[in-house]
Amino acid sequence: MATIRQALISVSDKTGIVEFSRQLIDFGVRILSTGGTARLLRENGLEVLEVSDYTGFPEMLDGRVKTLHPKIHGGLLGRRDLPEHTAKMKEHGIAPIDMVVVNLYPFAETVAKPDCEFADAIENIDIGGPTMLRSAAKNYQAVTVITDPADYAPIISEMQAGGGAVSPETNFTLAKKVFQATARYDAAISNYLGCFPRPDAHPLERYFLPETFTWQGIKAQDLRYGENPYQRAAFYREPEVREPGIGNARQLQGKELSFNNILDCNAAFELVKEFTEPSVVVIKHTNPCGAATATDASLAEIYRRARACDPVSAFGGIVALNRPVDAECAKILIETFIEAVIAPEFSEDALSVLTEKKALRLLAAPLLDKYEKEGLEIKKVTGGFLVQERDLKDAPIDKWLTVTKREPTATELATLKFAWKVCKHVKSNAIVLAADNRLVGVGAGQMSRVDSVRISIMKAQVPTAGSVLASDAFFPFRDGIDEAAKAGVKAIIQPGGSNRDDEAIAACNEHGMAMIFTGNRHFKH
């Protein structure tokens, strides 16, 4: 057990630091501190020794040099179990420092500001802080190092139980957090600076992605296995998750989430987030096999409509909703076997119904009134990885262009909007049929677009006459349109952009169909 007698405290985030320091002093701990932290502690009546007085060396260069001193780092790195270390420390008047409480200059927060200047970013690169943290964490057997205010209370509780001491196990846990934090900090700096070909680069000259890309995730859980039983796997969360989704969902009940459950829940929730109207999505193997939206029906009825698209595929699927699940909907949900339900919340009455299926996984991911979709997606390939922006952009509806003689009716246009949102989340080549704001048929992941059309028609459980069709990319030939016409499709939405667009337009005109070009595609590989 490491007894705390001397602590060095220097924090940018001063949350809770005054009370924590007061409790340390109650244990008889001497506090060393610097700058604004020392001033805050003194203003609150606490006795503090300035680091410059302790080292006998003044802070200099606008505070850039204050803790980079042998009396600091010798006190942190000196091993108490090695006589030659303790003798050398005594010879040079270096006292052990048993605790370091440091959090770093807010670099990431600074560069996230739209008006951040390059010089401001550089000034917010912390040097002394990471150096102290790393020194203390390396010598974790003897030094307690804290970077997170959330650890203050547990440390005080442990000191109370241990007569002012902290266990080696706790120190090791804290040391790991340090290296995770400094790795994340250095990654933020590297990623930022890597976007600048030179310090004075104009914004238009900067790289969107850095020369070296570093990403960090925090392990949320080990998984039983990956896609298959012989593959080991784990789920990692990003350090800060602001957008509602699988990364910050809470599991309320059910079996542990599997690798495939997490992928499917993410796919389901990302699709249902496309809609502001009450909506339900059914996902199987990351592809929608049911979706519906309505403003004049109960959530239970919307789910019935979604499930009716392909009830065979819905068996064992994932259901996502963008409204709180009520008891009526819960009763319908347990009628057939599903793996998981993800929704903003569940009423108490709904939970009492759903707990009848104890293995059913329930995830709550509250949808905020306002939030920004942002971020990158990463795909691993052998020997490297791909990084891209998420597919969050779409051409405004007022930029859509009707290219056929016939304009879509108001009803067709509304359903085309619905189908276009769903199609974006279907694996390419993607075709969806829709009617009355519900999915009718889906053709996913085929090597030819005409086969996707045929499959979407074949999968339909209701008559396709009068339906609309959405295609994630252009039709390279008119054959897909001819197949859709045979099934009674009345309107099509697609990006356009093929050398044979004229053939596609002519085919629609021949069949009396309306067709809209959106101007952008939504490939999903």
Tell me the catalytic residues. Answer: 138, 285
Return the CA Rg of the chain: 30
Kindly list the distances between the CA atom of residue 62 and the CA atoms of 35, 58, 216, 273, in Å, as whole numbers in the listed order.
11, 11, 32, 49
CA–CA distance, 59 with 515 (Å, rounded to integer): 71
Cβ atoms of 260 and 254 within 8 Å: the answer is: no
Long-range contacts of 441-448 (CB under 8 A, 24+ apart): 441/309, 441/310, 441/467, 442/287, 442/288, 442/289, 442/309, 442/310, 444/287, 445/287
User: Tokens representing 119?
Assistant: 């010089």
CA–CA distance, 408 with 350 (Å, rounded to integer): 40
Helix or strand holding residue 376 (H, E): strand 376-381
Query: Locate tokens 């929704």: which residue?
Result: 343
Return the SS3 of 237.
Answer: strand
**What type of residue sits at position 186?**
D
DSSP 262-300: HHHHHHHHHHHTT-SSSEEEEEETTEEEEEEE-SSS-HH
User: Tokens representing 325?
Assistant: 């699940």
Classify burial at 404, counting beta carbons within 10 Å of its beta carbon; exposed 0-12, middle 13-18, buried 19 or more.
buried
DSSP 8-state code for residue 35: H
CA–CA distance, 307 with 394 (Å, rounded to integer): 27
CA–CA distance, 422 with 418 (Å, rounded to integer): 7
Report how far Cα 212 is from the mean position of its chain's Cα atoms. 21
Query: Locate tokens 């340090």: which residue?
Result: 178
Region label for 488, one of left (φ > 0), alpha (ψ between -120 and 50) or beta (otherwise): left
